[in-house]
Structure 1
Amino acid sequence: MAVSRSVVNKVLAIEQAEGAGARVRRSIGSMKLRNLSPFLMLDHFHVSEGGFPDHPHRGQATVTYMLEGASAHEDSAGHAGVIEAGGVQWMTAGRGIIHAEMPVVKEGLPAPKGLQLWVDLPKQYKMVEPSYQELGKDGIPSAYPEGKDGSIEIRIISGDSHGVSSPVRPLGGCWYFHVIMKEKGKTVFQPIAKGWTAFAYILKGSVIVNPENDRTAHEPFHTLVFSNAEDGVAIESAEDETEFVLIAGEPLDQTVMQYGPFVMVDREGIQQTLRDYQFGRNGFEKAHTWKSKIGGQ
């Protein structure tokens, strides 16, 4: 009999200002929830104006999953595009990149809402060349634990669920699922490797974790961190139309040394990164010459 994980920490993400006119609910990366390796940050963002103009990254992957609206992206390596509702962009920043993320504003199109997850890169991949893995809404596979006519859908952004796999291949272990449960009282069990860090962030409705042992209902905008010694996690929908993301990753045996969007494993690595950015080298050759078209809109 598979044993479910339980909730060991619960954090409410409070909305705050970020970027140029954006509002975010930050849980991982806030003062209440740090050191959740390999995860560095989770923002639930709402961009009604402004956005995230030109800024650099090194040493992590940024995963942008759009829930509503659309977001434009442009970077110093010549990559540009639009992430539409239901789509994901998995950007491995590696040795360095400069990019802008700005809302697509059109009549009849809702303001962009979505999630951005920062995942630490294993130290051997910190200085790889930047790369992208992108899937539109129709490119993300789904699993249906009760069958396609059932009330549960699991959108598999990365990893494996109920015999279905995502084509996304992260550098380091990371599974990312968007679980949609239309009916109250349904339960889904997701296997997770023992020892992996795992959490859920509730988008809509409410959930009960490990329902055979704990009937506490957890409401939207909470991040639930799970124990890590069990076989997986059982989650029950406590309301109709419940949605959450379930994310798990292999913890890294390395120090996190972070300076804003730069994430290395020691102080020397951060100092080298700042020098590289200052002098425009080792991935930041265009740091002082490149300007995005979308960042100044």
Structure 2
Amino acid sequence: MNSHRAVPRAIAYRTRGQGHGPIVRLMSPSDLGRILKPFVFLDIFEMDAQTLRAFAMPGAGMPIHPHSGIATVTIITEGWLRFEDPANGSGRIGYGGVEWMRASGGVWHGKEMTAGEGVSHVQGFQLWVALPAELENAEPESRYIEAKDMRSAGPAVVVVGSYEGTSSPVPAPDGYNYLLVTLKAGERWTYTPPPGHTVGWLAVAKGALHAGEAVDAGEMVLFEQRADPIALQAGVDGSVFVLGSAVPHPYPLHLGMYSVHTSREALTSGERRIAELGRKLNEGGDRRTAAGTVPVFR
């Protein structure tokens, strides 16, 4: 919908998160994730060529680490990353593409993508989504979907979910939308959430937005928990941002170091499984591909 007459849904909270080198943590399961669940974690990352090379080195950058009970969604807003995986082929994830990894009962990952040839700068987001009880300890799955295979509704790439009759090819559970949006300078756009999507937030990668109040690059804002439209207008340099809406996750969050589950019993099961996978991973030795990636272990 592109009606500029919609009344803006008010911003309830805003944050610039906490920086960790080239990564800024905007939301964690122990803070804003408890308000925005099923969305429980959001990082924005930005790396130059030197940092990209360092992150790709064995033992450096983001270490290989486990997850259970969640799905991770990684998208790129600038540059591109290469994937190579015996189970998923090889290709590139740039603007509009997505790495979807449903950790469910347990995976280890962290180096499954590497810098693309000639790329001098990469920016993107990694989101975690809490899974429903029937999926939190199921068999995991991971997919890489290139930009050419994704679908858009107006200025929005439908990363997860369905919007304005357009559905994402990502096999995510129902109940939430995640969009990657680019607006031109001064462009107005209104997001009308599906029925029941009272959770709403956005985070700006580039440029600025007006959402009743100014929202600048690097900021994340939470909207009032109601199902009204979110009316936006890009600043003079345009804007690139991600936006999420959802039906509230009906379960409490039970947290491990890298895991989020709906109950203590489910968390115990997930952590037992990732410990077992960790032992097998160590016994298996070097799994690095010719491209320098280490495929998801599950």
* Contact preservation (8 Å) 1:44, 1:116: yes
Tell me if 1:16 matches 2:13: no
Residue number among 166, 169, 173 corresponding to 1:167 in the alignment: 169
Higher relative contact order (CA 8 A, sep 6+): 2
What is the identity percentage for the equivalent residue pairs of Structure 1 and Structure 2?
Answer: 26
Q: Which residue of 1 aligns with 2:244?
A: 247
In 2, Cα distance between equivalents of 1:105 and 1:92? 23
Q: Which residue of 2 aligns with 1:135?
A: 145
In 1, Cα distance between equivalents of 2:149 and 2:127? 19
Q: SS of the residue aligned with 1:188?
A: strand
In 2, Cα distance between equivalents of 1:277 and 1:132? 16
Task: State the Cα deviation string for residues 140-163 of structure 1 (Å, max 9, x = none).
Answer: 22222xxxxxxxx22221233344
Q: Which residue of 1 aligns with 2:44?
A: 44
| Structure 1 stretches lacking a partner, 5+ long | 18-22, 145-152
Tell me if 1:60 matches 2:70: yes
In 2, Cα distance between equivalents of 1:272 and 1:4? 43
Q: What pairs up with 1:268-287 in 2 under 5 angstroms? A: 268-278=265-275, 280=276, 286-287=280-281
Q: Which residue of 2 aligns with 1:149?
A: none
**Shift of residue 197, structure 1, vs aligned partner:** 1.1
Q: Which residue of 2 aligns with 1:91?
A: 101
Q: What pairs up with 1:84-163 in 2 under 5 angstroms? A: 84-86=93-95, 87-101=97-111, 104-105=114-115, 108-144=118-154, 153-163=155-165
Q: Which residue of 1 aligns with 2:58?
A: none
Residue number among 239, 257, 276 corresponding to 2:254 in the alignment: 257
Task: State the Cα deviation string for residues 209-243 of structure 1 (Å, max 9, x = none).
Answer: 1xxxx3x2111111111112233211111323211
* Contact preservation (8 Å) 1:11, 1:32: no
Q: SS of the residue aligned with 1:128?
A: coil
Q: Which residue of 1 aligns with 2:208?
A: 206
Q: Which residue of 1 aligns with 2:24?
A: 25
Task: State the Cα deviation string for residues 254-282 of structure 1 (Å, max 9, x = none).
Answer: 1111112222223333333333334x2xx
Residue number among 212, 218, 223 corresponding to 1:221 in the alignment: 218
Q: Partner amino acid for 1:45?
A: F
In 1, Cα distance between equivalents of 2:190 and 2:272? 47
* Contact preservation (8 Å) 1:140, 1:166: yes
Which range moved further: 287-296 or 199-208? 287-296
* Contact preservation (8 Å) 2:153, 2:164: yes
* Contact preservation (8 Å) 1:53, 1:102: no
Q: Which residue of 2 aligns with 1:188?
A: 189
Q: Partner amino acid for 1:224?
A: V
Q: Partner amino acid for 1:108?
A: G
Structure 1 stretches (4+) deviating beyond 6 angstroms? none
| Structure 2 stretches lacking a partner, 5+ long | 56-60
Compare the two structures and name the one with the higher helix fraction: 2
Q: Partner amino acid for 1:167?
A: P
In 2, Cα distance between equivalents of 1:109 and 1:269? 41
Task: State the Cα deviation string for residues 10-37 of structure 1 (Å, max 9, x = none).
Answer: 11134213xxxxx211111187634121
**Alignment TM-score, normalising by the size of structure 2:** 0.80
Q: SS of the residue aligned with 2:231?
A: strand
Which range moved further: 58-67 or 5-14? 5-14
In 2, Cα distance between equivalents of 1:254 and 1:30? 13
Q: Partner amino acid for 1:25?
A: V
What is the alpha-carbon root mean square deviation over aligned residues?
2.7
Task: State the Cα deviation string for residues 49-90 of structure 1 (Å, max 9, x = none).
Answer: 224332211110000102233335578x95564542121011
Q: SS of the residue aligned with 1:238?
A: strand
